[in-house]
Homo-oligomer: A and B are copies of this chain.
């Protein structure tokens, strides 16, 4: 059982990449070992891990690789997909495995993508999420893992996540202690929300910001909306303003870069990391200091 304290990083222009985390989805072609190596060589402080790459070698081996490289695991992605009708046992079992893996990886934050609507019953799908969250929260709490509810952009409500706003995620988290259920602030998913400043403040005041994830919104969008994310600076998002809100809300953790983008995926991973570092230093970090 691992208990991980909340991070309180010093953001520092003299050591700018200590707070920067490479999510393995950004360098999708790399194995976990390659991603950890790439992040460590580039001087980053952390990696965010997807389960597909962890499963290839097992959580214990993955944990050792990350620790040997001197990195943190900023989050494990992902649990969730709790909206299917029926008893939900298969999904619950999978989520318990994900919680175990998060504990093994010594990360406090398990990102939860809640699932879409298997039918036309949106209220029913949301109710199932709440019921199943109640079953998982004690299991996570015992293992020192926080369920980090991620609101996804409303265009994914049908197929991926019936949680669409930070307000909704906070409302769903509210019955639980702040160190058991948190929320993810991902700029791509949330930048449009007219109540975002207020909701980030609420999330911070309740100690529930599990992760700050940055990537840009490309305009025009790409044909596959899932891949319409861009490197910071390539789209329309004002990272200075949102970063100020996140800082004011008291977040001092890793900043994760998770970009689903076919062009980035086909590029050399080391070059992607160099671009990511530059954009982070220029566009994201200053407002966090």
Contacts and interface: CB of A to CB of B under 8 A. Distances in A.
Nearest to A240: B120
Given A159-B219, A164-B193, A221-B225, A120 B154 contact: no
A68 interface: no
A238 to B, nearest CB: 4
A192 to B, nearest CB: 4
Contacts of A193: 154, 164
A241 B154 CA distance: 19
A14 interface: no
Interface string A192-229: 11110000000000000000000001011101110000
A236 interface: yes
Contact of A221 (B122, B155, B164, B191): B155
A225 B228 CA distance: 12
A69 interface: no
A126 B219 contact: no
Contacts of A119: 236
27 contacts: A116-B219, A120-B236, A120-B237, A121-B238, A122-B191, A122-B192, A122-B238, A123-B241, A126-B194, A153-B154, A154-B154, A154-B192, A155-B155, A155-B221, A155-B225, A157-B191, A158-B192, A158-B217, A158-B219, A158-B235, A158-B236, A164-B193, A167-B195, A168-B194, A223-B223, A223-B224, A225-B225
